[in-house]
Amino acid sequence: MDKTCKICNTVGDEVYMINKYDEWFCSNICLSAFFTAVNVRGSNVEFQASDTHLQWKYVNDTVWVDLVPLTEFGVLTPGPPGPQGLQGEPGADSTVPGPKGDKGDTGSQGDQGLQGTQGIQGIPGNDGADGYTPIKNVDYFDGAVGPKGDTGDTGLQGLQGLPGADSTVPGPKGDTGDTGQQGIQGLQGIQGLPGIDGQDGADGYTPIKGIDYFDGAQGIQGIKGDQGDPGIQGIQGVKGDTGDTGLQGIPGNDGADGAQGIQGVKGDTGDQGPQGVKGDTGDQGLQGIQGEQGEQGIPGVSADPWVIIKLASDFVTSSASNTNVTNFYFTPAINKTYLIFGYFLLRTATTTVGARPGVAWPSNLTDATARMEASTSLTASAIRTWGAQTTQNALSTGLATTTNSHWGSLDGLIITSGTTTGNFQITLATETAGTNVTMKAGSILMYREL
> Who's near 191: CB < 8 A, 6+ residues apart?
119, 155, 158
Query: What pLDDT, on a 0 to 100 scale, did the predictor assign at position 265?
Result: 75
Bridge partner residues of 200 (DSSP):
none
E strand or H helix that includes residue 29: helix 28-41
CA pair distance 448, 308, nearest whole angstrom: 9
Residue 140: predicted pLDDT: 47
Q: What distance lies between CA 45 and its chain's CA centroid?
A: 71
Q: Return the CATH architecture of domain 307-449.
A: Sandwich (2.60)
SS3 state at 71: helix
Predicted confidence at residue 213, as pLDDT, reads 44
| pTM greater than 0.75 | no
| pLDDT digits (tens), the chain, 450 positions | 788 888 888 887 776 677 766 777 888 777 767 766 555 455 577 888 888 888 878 777 778 888 888 877 765 555 666 677 676 665 555 555 667 767 777 767 767 766 666 666 666 666 655 554 555 555 544 445 556 667 666 656 655 555 555 545 555 665 666 665 665 665 565 565 555 555 555 554 454 555 554 444 555 565 667 777 776 666 676 676 777 776 776 776 776 776 676 777 777 887 787 887 787 887 777 777 777 776 766 655 557 999 999 999 999 999 999 999 999 999 999 999 999 999 999 999 999 999 999 999 999 999 999 999 999 999 999 999 998 889 999 999 999 999 999 999 999 999 999 999 999 999 999 999 999 999 999 999 999 999
3-state DSSP helix/strand/coil percent for the chain, to nearest 5?
A: 5, 25, 70
What confidence score (pLDDT) does residue 373 get?
Answer: 97
Domains in the chain: boundaries: 2-73, 307-449
**pLDDT given at position 89:** 64
Which residues lie across from 430 on neighbouring strands? 355
User: How many residues are recorded in the chain?
Assistant: 450
Q: From the CB of residue 343, how many other CB atoms can be counted at a distance below 10 Å? A: 14
pLDDT for 205: 47
For residue 316, give every residue at least 6 positions away whose Cβ sits within 8 Å of its Cβ, in sequence order, or none.
436, 437, 438
